[in-house]
A = this chain, B = another copy of it.
Amino acid sequence: MASNGSSTSTTDVNLTKPLRCIVKLGGAAITCKNDLEKVNEENLEIVCSQLRQAMISSEKVVGMDWSKRPGSSDTCGSVDGLEDQLRADSNNFIVVHGAGSFGHFHASKSGVLKGGLDQPLVKAGLVATRISVGILNLEIVRALAREGIPSIGMPPFCGWSTSVGNIAAVNLSVVAKAIESGFIPVLHGDAVLDDLQGCTLLSGDVIIRHLAAHMKPEYVVFLTDVFGVYDCPPTEPNAILLREIAVGEDGSWSVTKPTLQDMNKKVEITVAAHDATGGMVTKISEAAMIAKLGIDVYIVKAGTTHSLKALSGELRDNIPDDWLGTVIRFSR
């Protein structure tokens, strides 16, 4: 009997065929933000269809969810004709999704983030949070499978742990093995055990940064509910979409397109301005750390022609002028 060959977070993983893309399905893009535990079915379906187009060369959709849908006695897939199917070549992808209107309520109400499993509320909250994000993960895995994407849910609780919020242990070989076998791992922001504080929340963005650092995807796509990163909350009338952000060797970043001159604005884009957009600085910082590795990051609106271009890798050589989104790139 062999060991499971687990990799610690300091070991890189080499795949036979390189990892094409890690894609984040933002919670705001695939759930109804203000409606507790409601999937945005319409958006999710378009996102999954675009992912199929980006991943699989065949046009034919072979449904892989053969289970009953709630409220229906029919199963939704058919196995007929599968034997004759062309063996479509597929690209290596990893999908990571946020929680959106799932999990957040449960986690914040109980204080899972700060830990303390000796408190009944925290312990119950961890269970409740994991159930809620588990419901969402299953819905996403099924939606991907219905599009013929061989998706496998891989809850981070099983294998990832932290130490005061920082990733302490990960079994990347399990993710790599699934990819090598032709599957698409579907991870998500999750409540996990923490060596020192008992438990915490591990965000999808932190998971992506870790996966990117050790599995070196060609590019990373963040699908959101707005066109990209703005200089102020995008709901404001004068909000300007930041087209390109350059990241230096030291991890610092600056907006290179539009230039301040283009923007015809007198104020500089300050950290404070970004903070108002609700954690956009955190998002850019995470993206900047990925870009620093030489991996292009695209932040783009889900379900648009722009997201399809980003997912398909069409932006790697040249970004068309009519493309709407934010590119975050390493610049020496």
Q: Nearest Cβ distance between residue A62 and chain B, in whole angstroms?
A: 6
Task: Report chain B residues within 8 Å CB of A66.
Answer: 105-106, 109, 128, 131-132
A251 CB within 8 Å of chain B? no
Check if A231 is an interface residue, CB within 8 A of chain B: no
Contact of A155 among B68, B121, B151, B155 (CB under 8 A): B155
| Contacts beyond the supplied A127-B152, A171-B171: 17 A-B pairs with Cβ under 8 Å | A1-B10, A1-B166, A2-B168, A36-B68, A64-B127, A67-B106, A70-B71, A71-B71, A79-B125, A83-B119, A83-B121, A85-B121, A126-B183, A131-B141, A154-B157, A158-B158, A177-B193
- The answer to the question of A327 belonging to the interface, with a C-beta cut-off of 8 Å to chain B, is no
B residues near A145, Cβ cutoff 8 Å: 127-128, 131
Q: A62 to B120, Cβ gap below 8 A?
A: yes
A294 at the interface (CB under 8 A from B): no
What distance in Å separates the Cβ of A92 from its nearest Cβ neighbour in chain B?
Answer: 15
Q: Does A178 contact B (CB under 8 A)?
A: yes
- The 8 Å CB contact of A2, one of B79, B169, B174, is B169
B1 in contact with A124 (CB, 8 Å): no
Q: List 9 A-B contacts (CB under 8 A).
A: A1-B8, A1-B10, A4-B8, A4-B159, A36-B68, A70-B71, A79-B109, A126-B150, A138-B138
Please tell me the size bucket of the interface on A: 35 or more
Q: Which residue of B lies closest to A191 (CB)?
A: B152
Of B8, B123, B158, which contacts A3 at CB under 8 A? B8
Q: Across the interface, name the chain B residue whose C-beta is closest to A137.
A: B134
Is B169 touching A87 in the complex (CB atoms < 8 A)?
Answer: no
Is A117's beta carbon under 8 Å from chain B?
yes
Q: Which residues of B contact A4 (CB under 8 A)?
A: 6, 8, 159, 161, 169-171
Within 8 A of B (CB), among A88-134: 105-106, 109-110, 117-121, 123-128, 130-132, 134
- B residues in contact with A62, CB < 8 Å: 120, 124
